[in-house]
Amino acid sequence: MLNSTWQPLSILALHGPNLNLLGQREPEIYGSLTLAEINRLLEEQAFKLQAKIFPVQSNHEGTLVDNIHGALGQHQGILINAGAYTHTSVALRDAIAAVNLPTVEVHLSNIYRREDFRHHSYISPVAIGQISGFGVQSYLLGLQALVDHLRIRS
């Protein structure tokens, strides 16, 4: 039985550059689902896990950094697909390290089976884990892992 002070976990779901084009952008790599459909699936999964997802997509690095900073005191964890910023953004890495919220990095494609420049992630050293290569399941598995981690910690 839940007490009256119980609140669902709050998870910030960050989607980086070009993910707004999912469903039309290289479907052979990223699949045919749109970002709206992925967010809907995340919301359904979060509900089952007694959590709430707050999705944000931006093509702008600073907006993503601002949302990470804003997560302090608002969210218990971060689920992030930083897109191309995964491989280039020290700023995102530093923001995640600064807020010190449990973060799971996800990718639709297997970044290690792609171009060499995609094999390095600035995010993974400050994340509790990374899931890639399973399409939309990467997001759902990442959410499950993050919620499990948060529940074990509390």
Known binding positions for substrate: 81, 87, 94, 108-109, 118
Instruction: Tell me which of 75, 85, 107, 139 is the catalytic residue.
Output: 107
First to last CA, the chain: 17
Binding site as annotated, residues: 81, 87, 94, 108-109, 118
Spatial distance between the Cα atoms of 102 and 108, rounded to a whole number of angstroms? 20
- Specify whether 112 is catalytic: no
Give, in order, the Cα–Cα distances in Å from 147 to each of 31, 57, 104, 123. 25, 21, 10, 19
Spatial distance between the Cα atoms of 108 and 135, rounded to a whole number of angstroms? 4
Q: What Rg do the C-alpha atoms of the chain give, in angstroms?
A: 15
- Specify whether 30 is catalytic: yes
Please report how many Cα atoms fall inside a 13 Å half-sphere around the Cα of residue 12, on the Cβ side.
26
Catalytic residues: 30, 107
